Structure 1
Amino acid sequence: MSKSEKENPTSGYVTLHELHGMQFEASGFSFLPKYKVQSLLAGRHKSAMRGRGLDFKEVRQYVAGDDIRNIDWKVTARTQKTHTKVFSEERERPVLLVVDQSSSMFFGTQSYLKSTVSAHLAALGAWRTVDVGDRVGAFVFNDTKFENIRPQRSSTAILSMLKTIEVYNNQLNAQQPPQSKTLILESVFQKVRSTVNHDYLIVIISDLRGISDKTIHHIFNLKRHNDVMVFHIEDDWEKELPLRAISLSNSDRQVSIENSMKKVREKHQKAFANEKEMLTDQFAEYGIPVLTFNTNERLADQLRDLLKDH
């Protein structure tokens, strides 16, 4: 366990010092191997080019428009058909983190709050991206506003980004009732669409509460020219009500709820599972992987388990 997580893993708020320290946890994962979405957060991706590049890729039959300087004369002579060399060029892949710090994230019954999980994942992703030499930016949002941080690759810029996440995180207040974030999600992704052009990796870090068809439409349009992946954050109690009485309070009133009723529990489980399955299936149709993170285990360990660096 890292020093930052030992200090106060159940604290309701993150600190810049904590997020800075996660720089030393950002290793052992590449965001590539288990998923067919190309170049996920590995920082680099290969693209076939007709012409000279950094690395030789393959030899294939010549087609009109290929650069004649790349004709492989030995293969051409042997096969009696014109063949050309194809090279691969290493290109930059900027990463954009969409970081949810809304009121629905200020919840957790295990080791961490969902808002803390979101902040930790953003920090790990940012440090990993810079470590491989690429730029990383972010959209950080709460229930009512968002901030756009343009992609950069310096450690100073990363610390500025993490400071913004800390500020948004520390503005969360348990005394205020949760708000619907449907409108802010729509606004954020509409802005992302107008900001991002192509060849980005967009990582959505959220519990996806309040997501609408309009937001999903924005995400699908982003996927047309970019890689997109979803880090879905959930807590055990959201999936399955505990088999005991629980007390809920808003500081003014307290109510006790008995959750041992089998029908109530089963209905809740089914509703949560159906909603998640529907979203996952929708994203899968567009080649968008959904990775689930919990509020119990260390985030660096979860990342290494899901996205091992082979």
Structure 2
Amino acid sequence: MSNTKNENSESAYVTLKELHGLQFEASGFSFLPKYKVQSLLAGRHKSAMRGRGLDFKEVRQYVPGDDIRNIDWKVTARTQKTHTKVFSEERERPVLLVVDQSSSMFFGTQEYLKSTISAQLAALGAWRTVDIGDRVGAFVFNDTEYKNIHPQRSTTAILSMLKTIEVFNNQLNANQPPKSKSLILDNVLSKVRSTVTHDYLVIIMSDLRGITDKSIHHIFNLKRQNDVIIFHIEDEWEKELPLRALSISNSDKQVSIASGMKKTHAKFQKVFASEKEMLNDQFAEYGIPMLTFNTSQKASTQMRDALKDQ
């Protein structure tokens, strides 16, 4: 059994004050760079929406809530499925943050914990969104429950959201081993699907531990009418060790390694790389970017590097 500890490590928990302070670092990046997906947000942009007397864009399958006056009856008759005409106009785009604060996130061997990076990314995304005048909401979840914060556009609403993240983050307990979050992840993504309509930007911030085919199916279905980005959060040691063999102390960062585990590092490293590559390929096939964030650098630095404002 061996341990590693960072003597200069940050606190294991985030505070509302810290997340509020990130308001002043939420610049230099946008959600509309580099990536060949539908428009990914950065303020006012061309976006599919219901309307009349606007520039025609496309015909797509009818979604509950669409204006029935825009139904394309010819396409509907030919396909036997209701289709609607879509027009383009400058408009806002609601942003929904899916923020993982489950037990597998309460781990880190570098400068930060994954749970901290997730909370910081959420705060930066929220502040950036309201700064450009759009609404932002969130699903914050742990191993057993979630909280849905509906998209709003105000500093008061953002602080309420960040308070929820702080509460979930501060409930993490190093004395309890990580639990499987497959069920809660499936449930949260299912609820997200039923909550958003279309033309949202959904950003999922998670280590994706325990992701199932059902979860992936939910994400693919979200992408049909919305933009989706995956912020995959990982720690360097997780590339070599299975999650079940790791633990973390409640003060500084600490890792426990099961005896004999070093002999199988290479095997686990290959499995981790293979699983991540497969996920990346699946998401890429649907035009969903998966960006990697680590526990070595603060979230604002990584956000600007990954999503530089152009």
TM-score category of the 2 structures, normalised to the smaller one: 0.7 to 0.9
Q: Name the residue aligned to 2:136.
A: 136
Q: Name the residue aligned to 2:282.
A: 282
Deviation at 1:213, TM superposition (A): 0.7
Q: Name the residue aligned to 1:91.
A: 91
What's the secondary structure of 2:225's corresponding residue?
Answer: coil
Q: How many residues align?
A: 263
What's the secondary structure of 1:224's corresponding residue?
Answer: helix
Supply the distance in 2 between the matched residues of 1:301 and 1:132 (Cα, whole angstroms).
Answer: 20
- Given that residues 106 and 248 in structure 2 are in contact (C-alpha distance below 8 angstroms), is that contact kept between their aligned partners in structure 1? no
Supply the distance in 1 between the matched residues of 2:257 and 2:308 (Cα, whole angstroms).
Answer: 44
Deviation at 1:42, TM superposition (A): 1.3
Q: Name the residue aligned to 2:203.
A: 203
TM-score when scaled to structure 2? 0.79
Supply the distance in 1 between the matched residues of 2:276 and 2:194 (Cα, whole angstroms).
Answer: 28
In structure 2, what residue type is equivalent to 1:224?
A: R
In structure 2, what residue type is equivalent to 1:31?
A: F
- Given that residues 247 and 257 in structure 1 are in contact (C-alpha distance below 8 angstroms), is that contact kept between their aligned partners in structure 2? no
- Given that residues 174 and 247 in structure 2 are in contact (C-alpha distance below 8 angstroms), is that contact kept between their aligned partners in structure 1? no
Q: Aligned pair in 2 of structure 1 residues 249, 284: CA closer, same or farther (>3 Å)? A: closer
Supply the distance in 2 between the matched residues of 1:149 and 1:247 (Cα, whole angstroms).
Answer: 32
- Given that residues 107 and 247 in structure 2 are in contact (C-alpha distance below 8 angstroms), is that contact kept between their aligned partners in structure 1? no
Structure-to-structure mapping, 1:223-302, within 5 angstroms: 223-240=223-240, 257=259, 261=263, 264-302=264-302
> Residues 204-240 of structure 1, C-alpha deviation per residue, up to 9 Å, x if partnerless?
0000001111111111111000000100000000113
Supply the distance in 2 between the matched residues of 1:15 and 1:219 (Cα, whole angstroms).
Answer: 30
Q: Name the residue aligned to 1:104.
A: 104
Supply the distance in 2 between the matched residues of 1:166 and 1:106 (Cα, whole angstroms).
Answer: 13
> Residues 111-146 of structure 1, C-alpha deviation per residue, up to 9 Å, x if partnerless?
000000000000000000000000000000000000
Q: Name the residue aligned to 2:35.
A: 35
Larger Rg: 1
Instruction: State yes or no: 1:146 paired with 2:146.
Output: yes
Supply the distance in 2 between the matched residues of 1:232 and 1:249 (Cα, whole angstroms).
Answer: 20
Supply the distance in 1 between the matched residues of 2:246 and 2:120 (Cα, whole angstroms).
Answer: 29
Most deviating of 87-96 and 284-293: 87-96
Structure-to-structure mapping, 1:8-157, within 5 angstroms: 10-47=10-47, 51=53, 89-157=89-157
Supply the distance in 2 between the matched residues of 1:255 and 1:15 (Cα, whole angstroms).
Answer: 30
Q: Name the residue aligned to 2:64.
A: none
In structure 1, what residue type is equivalent to 2:142?
A: N
Highest RCO, 1 vs 2 (Cα 8 Å, sep ≥ 6): 2
Deviation at 1:298, TM superposition (A): 1.5
Supply the distance in 2 between the matched residues of 1:247 and 1:99 (Cα, whole angstroms).
Answer: 22
What's the secondary structure of 2:215's corresponding residue?
Answer: helix
Q: Aligned pair in 2 of structure 1 residues 47, 31: CA closer, same or farther (>3 Å)? A: closer
- Given that residues 38 and 45 in structure 1 are in contact (C-alpha distance below 8 angstroms), is that contact kept between their aligned partners in structure 2? no
In structure 2, what residue type is equivalent to 1:227?
A: D
Supply the distance in 1 between the matched residues of 2:308 and 2:295 (Cα, whole angstroms).
Answer: 20
Deviation at 1:249, TM superposition (A): 7.8
Which structure 2 segments of 5+ residues have no match? 1-7, 56-86, 251-255
What's the secondary structure of 1:108's corresponding residue?
Answer: coil
Supply the distance in 2 between the matched residues of 1:265 and 1:15 (Cα, whole angstroms).
Answer: 35
- Given that residues 174 and 248 in structure 2 are in contact (C-alpha distance below 8 angstroms), is that contact kept between their aligned partners in structure 1? no
Supply the distance in 2 between the matched residues of 1:142 and 1:249 (Cα, whole angstroms).
Answer: 17
Deviation at 1:152, TM superposition (A): 0.2
Q: Name the residue aligned to 2:159.
A: 159
What's the secondary structure of 1:93's corresponding residue?
Answer: coil
Give the % identical residues.
75
Supply the distance in 2 between the matched residues of 1:233 and 1:47 (Cα, whole angstroms).
Answer: 29
